[in-house]
Amino acid sequence: MPAKRPPIPLSRERIIEAALHIADGQGLRRLTMRRLGDALQVEAMAIYHHIPGGKEALLDALAEHVTTVTVEDGAGGSWQDLARAWARACRAALLAHPGVLALAMTRPPRGRAAAALREHIDRLGDAGLPDPAGALRTIRAYVMGSVAIEVQRSGWNGEAAESADEAVAAFERGLDAVIAGLAAGLPPGAGGRT
Amino acid sequence: MPAKRPPIPLSRERIIEAALHIADGQGLRRLTMRRLGDALQVEAMAIYHHIPGGKEALLDALAEHVTTVTVEDGAGGSWQDLARAWARACRAALLAHPGVLALAMTRPPRGRAAAALREHIDRLGDAGLPDPAGALRTIRAYVMGSVAIEVQRSGWNGEAAESADEAVAAFERGLDAVIAGLAAGLPPGAGGRT
DNA sequence: CGGCGCCCTTTACAAAGTAAGCCAGGCACG
DNA sequence: CGTGCCTGGCTTACTTTGTAAAGGGCGCCG
């Protein structure tokens, strides 16, 4: 009896969710088509009907999923507040799936992720920040690097792993410095509320 | 006649060098034991005699090699100068081997890399910077993220790839902001020359 | 009720990691 | 000069992975 119909039909969403679960739990190295199929109660080949392009496309999708960050429209904040909120959201999104961090840092933002990025740049510009693209680049660099360092430490048995509180504190301290440094580079008087 | 002695005997250094070359040229995905063997004019299994631990150990070694950064002892600079020099050296080292960037960001620093890091922290402290570990963490985060973004862009056919000059300029602008922000967070008067 | 199309399965094959064991050449020692 | 061990590479073989190709059940529409 070859064709047993699975209870829930497969879908791109379910596949991505399961893939994230495996990658987070056992590492990217162990994320294989067959294992993914097992997790979904399906044969590996079934995945190809929902993710054309095979594993490479799947990894792209994971990266996009984890780097698509939006902050709700807290209208009326300074660009500093906006940038801070975005940085925290971005950190949270990346930290939620440490297994695919390497993908997120390696693949350029595309599709929804790139769109969200552009939209945030516009919002920073609207909030009065000159050169919002350059500034966001700096902030994004800091956030991505911070998360990388945090993940390194947590998967680390040498010396003492830091607590979550310590990690947040370190992140916030650095974020303060970065934003203060960006503000200091501005012509005096630039960047008030909208 | 099975055993042809290769002209140059294999060595750990040669293996790592060849592996970096492959990873940079064709991507981590295509770095395989057999290909590495071919590049070294040797069968794949010969590698295991020099890198015990197999591929995982090889990847660790690559990460360590690319994250081991030292700056010559420019004695007498401010901590800002020291930090700037280290950041530039670190960027250069990572950018020199974009293929293994994912490894460098994922694996915690160990061995020589960790030692070099600790030594640099000490030097920053000697130069008068309070909390050098926290500051270096911020700088390291910024540098790692910056390089990740640069590599993303260069392996990118969408829109316009940026020139090397533009990349350096963006990096330096962000670095200025980060260092200025760190300096601003200090108690007034701290951090003169030694 | 017959055919069509959608999803999933089966089968099959190339490529990769690596364990086990073999063999050649060189060195030490008699 | 003979002999045996040791170093370092080779051969073989097995398991796991990605994926192309073809097959088969099931519902839906005419």
Q: How far is the CA of B56 from the C1' of C22 (A)?
A: 26
B47 & B97 share domain: no
CA of A8 to C1' of D24 (A): 20
Asked if residue B108 and residue B41 are part of one domain, the reply reads: no
- Domain check: are B165 and B81 in the same one? yes
- Residue A4 pLDDT grade (very low, low, confident, very high; cuts 50, 70, 90): low
**Residues near B66 by beta carbon (within 8 Å), at least 6 away in sequence:** B20, B93, B94, B96, B97, B100, B101, B103, B104
Q: Please check whether residue B194 is in contact with residue B123, taking contact to mean a CB–CB distance below 8 angstroms.
A: no
Say what the pLDDT of residue A157 is: 67
Three-class secondary structure of residue B133 per DSSP: helix
User: In whole angstroms, what is the distance from residue B25 CA to residue B67 CA?
Assistant: 19
Contact between B181 and A185 using a beta-carbon 8 Å cutoff: no
- Whether B143 and B76 map to the same domain: the answer is yes
Contacting residues of A for B107, CB less than 8 Å apart: 152
* pLDDT per position as a tens digit, B123-172: 999 999 999 999 999 999 999 999 999 999 987 766 667 889 999 999 99
Cβ(A67)–Cβ(A48) below 8 Å: no
Q: How many CB pairs under 8 A join A and B?
A: 136
Closest CA to B93 of B126, B116, B127: B116
Give the model's pLDDT for residue B168. Answer: 97
Q: pTM for the full model?
A: 0.90
The answer on B83 and B139 residing in a single domain is: yes
Identity (one letter) of the amino acid at A157?
A: N
What pLDDT is stored for residue A194 in this prediction?
44
**Best CA proximity match to B46, nearest among B79, B20, B23, B18:** B18
- Would residue B41 count as lying in a domain? yes
Regarding whether A151 and A100 lie in a shared domain, the answer is yes
CB B67 within 8 A of CB B29: no
- Mean pLDDT for B18-39 is 96
- pLDDT band, residue B100 (cuts 50/70/90): very high
Residues B73, B45 share a domain: no
DSSP string, A144-188: HHHHHHHHHHHT--SS-PPPHHHHHHHHHHHHHHHHHHHHHTSPT
* Average confidence score pLDDT of chain A: 90
Taking residues B38-55, what's their average pLDDT? Answer: 94
At CA B55, angle to CA B51 and CA B58, rounded to 5?
Answer: 55
Nearest-Cα residue of chain A relative to residue B183: A177
Judge contact between A89 and A171, C-beta under 8 A: no
Question: Does the pLDDT value for residue B4 go beyond 60?
Answer: no
- A20 and A82 in one domain? no
Give chain B's radius of gyration (CA, Å): 20
Report the residue of chain B nearest A152, measured CA to CA: B108
User: How far is the C-alpha of A109 from the C-alpha of A115, rounded, in Å?
Assistant: 9
Q: Nearest-CA neighbor of A134 among B11, B175, B79?
A: B175
A17 and A78 co-located in one domain = no
Q: Is B75 domain-assigned?
A: yes
Distance (Å, rounded) from C-alpha B98 to C-alpha B25?
Answer: 9
Mean per-residue pLDDT over chain B, rounded: 90
Residue A155: which pLDDT band, with cuts at 50, 70 and 90? confident
Q: pLDDT digits over A24-70, tens only?
A: 999 999 999 999 999 999 999 999 999 999 999 999 999 999 999 99
Does B115 have pLDDT greater than 90?
yes
User: How many Å apart are CA B64 and CA B99, to the nearest integer?
Assistant: 14
* pLDDT score at B155: 75
Residue A7 within a domain: no
Note whether residue A141 is domain-resident.
yes
- Say yes or no to pLDDT of B190 above 70: no
Cα–Cα dist A60/A55, whole Å: 9
Could you tell me the two tokens for B158?
């969408």
User: Mean pLDDT throughout B14-26?
Assistant: 96
Model confidence band, residue B2 (pLDDT cutoffs 50, 70, 90): very low
Residues A85 and A35 in one domain: no
Can you say how many angstroms the Cα of residue B136 is from the centroid of all Cα atoms in its chain? 15
Domain CATH number, residue A28: 1.10.10.60
Pair (A99, A157) in one structural domain:
yes
**Which pLDDT does position A73 carry in this prediction?**
73
pLDDT in tens, A98-129: 999 999 999 999 999 999 999 999 999 999 99
A102 chain-B contacts, CB cut-off 8 A: 102, 105-106
User: A96 and A178: one domain?
Assistant: yes
Per-residue confidence (pLDDT) for residue B1, from 0 to 100: 40
Domain with A27 in it: 12-52
- Alpha carbon of residue A101 to chain centroid: 8
Contact yes or no for B138 and A178 at CB 8 A: yes
Residue with tokens 């081997």: B97
CA distance B120 to B26: 33
Inform me whether the pLDDT recorded for A174 exceeds 60: yes
* CATH assignment at residue B111: 1.10.357.10
User: Is residue B190 situated within a structural domain?
Assistant: no
Is B183 near strand D, with its CB below 7 A from some atom of it?
Answer: no
Instruction: Tell me, yes or no, whether A1 lies in a domain.
Output: no
Here the tokens at position B161 are: 């790839």
Reference B32, options A103, A29, B23; nearest CA is B23
Helix/strand/coil percentages in chain B, nearest 5:
70, 0, 30
Residue B7: its pLDDT value, please? 63
Residue A98, domain member (yes or no) = yes
Closest approach of B109 to chain A, Cα-based (Å):
8
Residue B26 lies in a domain: yes
Please tell me the total count of domains within chain A: 2
